[in-house]
Every structure is written in structure tokens, then in C-alpha cells.
Amino acid sequence: MGDRFLHNLDWLILLPVLLLIGFGLLTLYSIGHVPDDLGRTFQSGESSFFHRQVIWFLIGIGVLIFATIVPFRYYESLAVLLYLAGVGLLIVVLVLEPSQKASRWIVLGGFRFQPSEFMKVAVIFLLARVLAEKRNDPNKLRVLALSFLIVTIPFLLVVKQPDLGTSLVFPALLFTILYWRGLNENILVLFITPLISAFLTIYSERTLGRGTYPYPLLIFLLVILILAYRRRRDIVQGVLLVGLNLGVMLIVPNLWNRLQLYQQKRILAFLRPESDILGTGWQVYQSKVAIGSGGFIGKGYLHGTQKLLAFLPEKHSDFIYSVLSEELGYIGAVVVLLLFAVMIVRGLYLAINVKNRFASIAAVGVCAYFAFHVIVNIGMTIGLAPVTGLPLPFLSHGGSSMVISCFMAGTLLNFSARFYEY
């Protein structure tokens, strides 16, 4: 059994994970390092990022091994309990620190734990358990409503913290898993197009200005009308499509005023980063400078100037990819992307071939987790996504992210080693 287990283990998932962790540790060491000719070995306080991450790496490897060897049927049977525990932890966070502007962590001794990271695992497992039932067709209203309820509860609790970036992970998991399970594309359009309408409404009002003709929004509205016309045989879907998008266009301006000021600034900085380079656009601007200055082969390990001169904020977490790109250049940046791509593609290949439906759906959810984090984090470093605070798995400093990412990778290894089980 042991030989068969190791033989089936997908090393093209494990190897990229280990290499990505290695890249992260090397970059964190570089962030705290100053060349000897400047008279110091580490920048004040920043050497601790590397030392703490080594500890979390060792814990993460233990978690990865645990997630790999425990039969995945336990994950399926415990899905409801894990979900309820996650919701309870999110409520505890809000109760413990109701007066804080951002309540996201539970402190245990010298460690801080972020329940929203644990909740991502719980949501994937519960959605997989519900949708693994043959009778639970995602196109049925009952199943669709239950799936949305599973995601909406943690989504609202995380938004309340407030942590808008993390909250967006849950809808991404939901739509990906539902689509994989066989959700009708017409229904998917009903959910996706309002999100686009919301984005274009904000873009038209806040970026183009109130006195400017909102041509992007009007063009998209025309597209919606064309889609509704093509669905004229199903008048209910057509009316819903137009009604939902018009409703979003009317409601979003009011919802915008309910966002925290820093959240509004981050979104506006994404839409028009050049409008406030010294303010809200500073992070993205400096990130682009760092990545661009790395060139093809980089400035060399330990010799990145943006991190050395402290121009780049949050370089140990949100913008660690910028530091890596500056020092290792285009080659290093592409290698990291390829490692993520190999892991995600192998995960999707596994989802296709695994015999158990729960394992297949959960594998897709794990791949969606990694893909969303990578796309958003790297996207914000180059100005293609708003600054949300989402970490880059295995690289960004942070214990919760490292442990949960290792657990997610362990579940993929678990599914690969037992792909033949029904």
C-alpha cells in the first residue's frame, strides 16, 4: 500500500510547491539584507520576516504531509463541521475586536491566525460535498440557492471585518465549482454580467467624471440587450438579464458610499493610478518601477534597489513578486509563473481523472483558490488589478497563508495518491 501510495503521488504538484517556497524564503531573506559595504547585514526589523517564515515553512510542511496521508473521505464527512467551525471563528474575530478598523486575526500566544484563510478550505469542502451528490444538479433552484448560501455567509462576515480582497475569493470559488459541476452557461451569464456592470458603473462615474458621456457603460448595456434578444425564446431569462444589470447600475453608486475610504481609494488607484502617484497610486507605481528595472536577467540576488531604498511598500507580503522580479528579472518572474501554472494544470488534470466526484470538485476548488490568488496578486503588482492585500501563495510572508496553502497542496497530493478510489 505504501509503495502504491508513493507511486501515485503527483510529484509535478509537490516539486513546484517546494520550489515556490524556496523562492519565497530567498526573497524574504533578501528583503532583510543590506550589502556589507553599507555596514549592516539586515534592515531594522525586516530580518524577522525571514526567520518567522522559516518557522511557518516547517509547520506548513507538517500540515502538507498531514493533508496528504489522511484519507480524503474524512474531509468529505467533516465538511459541515469544518464550515460551522470556520463561521464561528469569523464571528469570534468580530466580537473580540468590534472597535478596530480591521478585525481579521485571532491571537494565540505569539502567533496570529486569520480565520478567513481557514474558511476558504471549509467552503471548498462543503461545496464539493453538496454538489458531489448526483441528485444535486446545480441548475436546480434549490441546489443553486444552497450553494449561494454557503458562500454568502462567510462573504458577508469577511466584508464586515472589513477585508474586501479576501471576501472576493469566495464568489470566485463558487462560480468555478458550479461551472465545473455543470451549471448552465445562461445562468452563469446572469451572475457574471452584473459584476461587469458594477465595475463599469464605478469606472464611468468616478473615473470619467459625472459630466462625461459614460460610453463604456452604454456599450455594455447594448451588449446586454443583444444577449437578451438572443434569449427571446426564454423571456424570463431575458427579463432577468436586463433587470439585474439595470438594478446594479442604479444601486452601485449607493453601495460605493458605504465602502471604507481606503477601499474607495484602492479601487480608484487601480482605475486611474496616474492620478495620484504620490498618494494612492504610490504602491503600484513603485512596483512597476521595480519590475521594469529588473530587465531580462535582473539586478542580481540581494541587489534590488527598490527594496533596499525602501521605496516599495509591503514588499514582504503584497509586493514580494516585485522584489523577486527586480532581482531575478524577467527570467525569474516567468519561472515563478510557470511553477504555479504546472501545479494548477496538474491539479485540473487530476480533477478530470480522479474517480471520486467529491475529490474532483474539491480539486477544482483548490485550483481556483491558487489561480485567483496568483492572478490578483501578480495583477496588482503590474497595475492590472486593484491592490487588495491578497497574498501570493507560498511566497508572501504570513503564517495563515503558508499553512493553508500547504494544506491545499496536500489535498491535491492526497487526491492524486488515491485517484482510483470511488
pLDDT at residue 255, rounded to an integer: 79
Listed as ranges, residues in the chain with pLDDT below 50 are 1, 38-39, 41-42, 44, 99
Instruction: Flag whether 275 is in a domain.
Output: yes
Residue-level pLDDT at 22? 95
Task: Give the CA distances from residue 252 to residues 15, 207, 367, 402, in Å, rounded to whole numbers and listed in that order.
Answer: 44, 15, 31, 35
Express each pLDDT in 34-44 by its tens digit. Answer: 665 544 544 54
Taking alpha carbons only, the member of 159, 165, 126, 127 closest to residue 401 is: 165
Q: Tell me if residue 318 falls in helix, strand or coil.
A: coil
| pTM of the model as a whole | 0.86
The single residue listed with the C-alpha cell 466526484 is 357
Is residue 333 situated within a structural domain? yes
Are 31 and 51 in contact by the 8 Å Cβ rule? The answer is no
d(CA 87, CA 269): 32
Residue 6 forms part of a structural domain: yes
**Which domain does 114 fall in, by range?**
2-417
In 3D space, the residue among 283, 285, 284, 329 whose CA is nearest the CA of residue 303 turns out to be: 329
Q: Using CB atoms within 10 A of its CB, is residue 78 exposed (0-12), middle (13-18) or buried (19+)? A: middle
Question: Domain total for the chain?
Answer: 1
pLDDT attached to residue 80: 96
Per the prediction, the chain carries an average pLDDT of: 84
Q: Are 319 and 388 in contact (CB under 8 A)?
A: no
**Could you read off the pLDDT of 223-233 as tens digits, one per residue?**
888 888 887 77
Interatomic CA distance for residues 382 and 238, integer angstroms: 38
From the CB of residue 340, how many other CB atoms can be counted at a distance below 10 Å?
22
Place of cell 473615473: 207
Question: Does 176 fall in a domain?
Answer: yes
CA distance 32 to 298: 18
Q: Which of 284, 254, 248 is nearest to 268 (CA)?
A: 284
Q: At what angle do helices 11-31 and 47-69 cross, to 10 degrees?
A: 170
Q: In the prediction, which pLDDT does 160 show?
A: 83
- Looking at residue 46, its pLDDT comes to 59
Centroid of chain to Cα 12: 22
38 to each of 64, 302, 309, how far by Cα in Å?
Answer: 40, 13, 12
Instruction: Check residue 159 and give its pLDDT.
Output: 85
> In the 8-state DSSP scheme, what is residue 100?
S
Which residues have a Cβ under 8 Å from the Cβ of 242 and sit 6 or more positions away?
Answer: 224, 225, 228
Buried b (16+ CB within 10 A) or exposed e, 287-321: bebbbeebeeebbeeeebebbbeeebeebbbbbbb
Does 422 map to a domain?
no
- What pLDDT is stored for residue 32 in this prediction? 79
Cell of 309: 531604498
